[in-house]
């Protein structure tokens, strides 16, 4: 497998990534409708083991904090508590996968960020992760998703939010709303979760 992580290209890999000497991410080719299978251990900033995804299926997921959606083009793994992408990847060609974005913690609680510039390189230590949307901004986006089928503006910078369906479109599924300009994401859940908006809006 050829694996591209941010600006780093790794050839003839086994799809396994180790952080601090411990395997944390494994990618492999699937069959049928889903091409990439992800196995990943997820940790809190304190180093607690809070979730494990094994070949696109949850082994455990503390308080359903994370949501995973995979298809023939790639996958999105989202932290719903922080409203940010944990890991996003796409199929770039035969035997080629590109990890385009990610923010996650190692087993020691250290934050690792995947960007187009570098992957945990010297610049990463000096960067700070952009904070998630504020509660009033979250409420504004959720209202807009529930009442609009058109474009929705980011309440922080005014840019149009990209909208991507999580799941297969069932009522329990949701939307991943992303602002590419200010680098923030928000998961808007479907009607199966109390207090969240209906997923009847169409994009």
User: Is the pLDDT confidence value at 179 over 90?
Assistant: no
Q: How far apart are CA 102 and CA 53, in angstroms?
A: 15
> What's the Cα-to-Cα distance from 201 to each of 97, 141, 181, 192, rounded to whole Å?
31, 12, 23, 14
Give the model's confidence band at 24: pLDDT under 50 very low, under 70 low, under 90 confident, else very high: very high
Task: Write the secondary structure of the chain as one string of H (helix), E (strand) and C (coil).
Answer: CEEEECCEEECCCCCEEEECCEEEEEEEECCCCCCEEEEEEEECCCCCEEEEEECCEEEEEHHHCEEEEECCCEEEEEECCCCEEEEEEEEEECCEEEEEEEEEECCCCCEEEECCCCECCHHHHHCCCCCCCCHHHHHHHHHHHHHCCCCCECCCCCCECEEEEECCCCCCCEEEEEECCCCEEEEECCCCCCCCCCCCCCC
pLDDT band at residue 35 using 50, 70 and 90 as cut-offs: confident
Percent share of the chain, pLDDT over 90? 23
Residue spans of the domains in the chain: they are 2-116, 135-188
51-79: average pLDDT: 92
- pLDDT of 192 above 50: no
CATH number of 135-188: 2.20.25
Tokens of 125: 């230590």
């Amino acid at each position: 497998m050829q694996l591209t992580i941010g600006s780093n290209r790794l050839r003839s890999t086994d799809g396994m990534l180790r952080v601090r000497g411990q395997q944390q991410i494994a990618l492999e080719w699937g069959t049928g409708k889903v091409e990439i299978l992800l196995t990943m251990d997820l940790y809190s900033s304190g180093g607690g083991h809070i979730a494990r995804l094994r070949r696109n299926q949850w082994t455990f997921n503390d308080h359903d904090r994370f949501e995973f959606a995979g298809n023939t083009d790639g996958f999105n793994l989202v932290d719903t508590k922080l409203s940010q992408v944990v890991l996003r990847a796409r199929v770039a060609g035969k035997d080629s996968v590109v990890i385009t974005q990610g923010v996650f913690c190692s087993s020691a609680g250290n934050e690792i960020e995947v960007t187009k510039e570098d992957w945990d390189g010297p610049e990463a230590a000096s960067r700070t992760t952009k904070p998630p949307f504020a509660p009033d901004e979250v409420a504004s986006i959720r209202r807009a998703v529930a009442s609009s089928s058109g474009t929705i503006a980011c309440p922080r910078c005014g840019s149009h939010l990209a909208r991507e369906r999580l799941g297969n479109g069932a009522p329990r599924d949701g939307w991943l709303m992303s602002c590419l300009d200010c680098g923030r994401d928000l998961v808007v859940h479907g009607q199966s979760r109390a207090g969240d908006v209906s997923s009847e809006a169409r994009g």
